[in-house]
Amino acid sequence: MLTGVQVLLIGGDARQLEVIRRLAEMDASVTIAGFEGLHTPPEGAVQAELDDALFESVDALLLPAVGTDDQGFIHAVFSDRQLQLTSAHLTRLPKHCKVYTGMAKPYLRDLCAEQGLALVELFDRDDVAIYNSIPTAEGAIMMAIQNTDITIHGSTCIVLGLGRTGFTLARTLQGLGANVLVGVRRSEQFARAAEMGFRPFYMGSFLEHVSNIDLLFNTIPTMIVTAQIIANLPSRAVIIDLASKPGGTDFRFAEKRGIKALLAPGLPGIVAPKTAGRIVADCLYQLILADTVERGNRE
């Protein structure tokens, strides 16, 4: 239980409602800012204005998927107000307070480093990334269905990258009856892909595999679907790029060639906010609990 633990949660979307629910259920004292637009305020939490005093006595500061933008503004879909996190806020936090977010931009990293505060980026964690790969794969398949006139079953798909997302996506496509090729760069991934019944190839030979495919899914966060690759795709092919912005596709060239190419960021929060919220909420609960126990042992 999190009895006596003070949590401050600022901004976010429907995923944060799951986090609030879970932490309140575990008896944490949850204060929230950036939710005044909700018709029904989340149960078990106290709504507050974002002012300096709010940051005193906080044990865990929770920020949304992308902590802040480059100027410190926090995305809050349930609020019309501008929520800006500043150095003055973080100065008020007790030194043991940890700052949790999905992924941080340099602004937040610098602010935490300046104040000597621990910053935890949840989307970096293998467990969160693997759980998140489930709604990501489902979202990618939803986009594929919406943007093609064929079934996934019987189609030929390439998945680039056999990491946490690529693995789940390739397996899910295979489960739907697609012929799945996977682009990798390591021999152990090549072997695993072959063992799982995919058709693996090394990225060095990427160009040789693109001339007869229906769907190209990219999870490699670097420019990899170049103009040369796009020039060799059949005109029916659709590119769905899952890699973090700006993706790994030459979108300008794809448009010029008339190939449909879609950058698809943030799929878990779009296609399954409740599940995505639960994934984050479960992880946060475990981490805050572990911190609380450790602090208790030290004191």
* Alpha-carbon radius of gyration of the chain: 22
Tell whether residue 15 is a contact of ligand NAP (CB under 6 A).
no
Nearer to ligand NAP, 152 or 225 (CB): 225
Does 16 interact with ligand NAP (rule: CB under 6 A)?
Answer: no
Give me the residue whose beta carbon is nearest to ligand NAP.
Answer: 163
Contact flag: residue 67 with ligand NAP (CB under 6 A): no
Separation CA 178–CA 123 (nearest Å): 29
Instruction: Calculate helix-pair angle for 14-25, 273-298, nearest 10 degrees.
Output: 40
Q: Please give the residues from 179 up to 198 whose contact with ligand NAP meets the rule CB under 6 A.
A: 185-186
Closest distance of CB 121 from ligand NAP, Å: 11
Three-class SS of the chain: CCCCCEEEEECECHHHHHHHHHHHHCCCEEEEECCCCCCCCCCCEEECCCCHHHHCCCCEEECCCECCCCCCECCECCCCCCCECCHHHHHHCCCCCEEEECECCHHHHHHHHHHCCEEEEHHHCHHHHHHHHHHHHHHHHHHHHHCCCCCCCCCEEEEECCCHHHHHHHHHHHHCCCEEEEEECCHHHHHHHHHCCCEEEEHHHHHHHCCCCCEEEECCCCCCECHHHHHCCCCCCEEEECCCCCCCECHHHHHHHCCEEEECCCHHHHHCHHHHHHHHHHHHHHHHHHHHHHHHHHC
Residues 227-246 touching ligand NAP, rule: CB under 6 A, are 242-244
- Measured from the CB of residue 174, what is the shortest distance to ligand NAP in angstroms? 17
Q: Residue written as tokens 């399954």?
A: 272
Cβ closer to ligand NAP: 77 or 203?
Answer: 203
146 vs 235, beta carbon nearer ligand NAP: 146
205 lies in the site for ligand NAP, by CB under 6 A: no
The reply to whether 222 sits near ligand NAP by the rule CB under 6 A is: yes
Question: Nearer Cβ to ligand NAP, position 93 or 240?
Answer: 240
Identify any residues that bridge with 160 across adjacent strands, giving them in sequence order. 183, 218
Q: Which is nearer to ligand NAP, 79 or 219 (CB)?
A: 219
Give the tokens for residue 206. 């990427």
Binding of ligand NAP by 221 (CB under 6 A): yes
Using the rule CB under 6 A, is 226 a contact of ligand NAP?
no
Which one of 65-73, 81-89, 92-100, 260-268 is the stretch in contact with ligand NAP (CB under 6 A)? Answer: 260-268
What angle do the packed helices 126-146 and 164-175 form, to 10 degrees? 40
Q: Does 166 bind ligand NAP (CB under 6 A)?
A: yes
Site for ligand NAP in 135-164 (CB under 6 A): 136, 161-164
Q: Which is nearer to ligand NAP, 79 or 218 (CB)?
A: 218
Measured from the CB of residue 202, what is the shortest distance to ligand NAP in angstroms?
Answer: 9
Q: With CB under 6 A, what is the number of residues at the site for ligand NAP?
A: 24
- Confirm or reject binding of residue 267 to ligand NAP (CB under 6 A): yes
Q: Which of 68, 101, 165, 172 binds ligand NAP (CB under 6 A)?
A: 165
- List residues near ligand NAP by CB under 6 A: 129, 132, 136, 161-166, 185-186, 203, 219-222, 242-244, 264-268
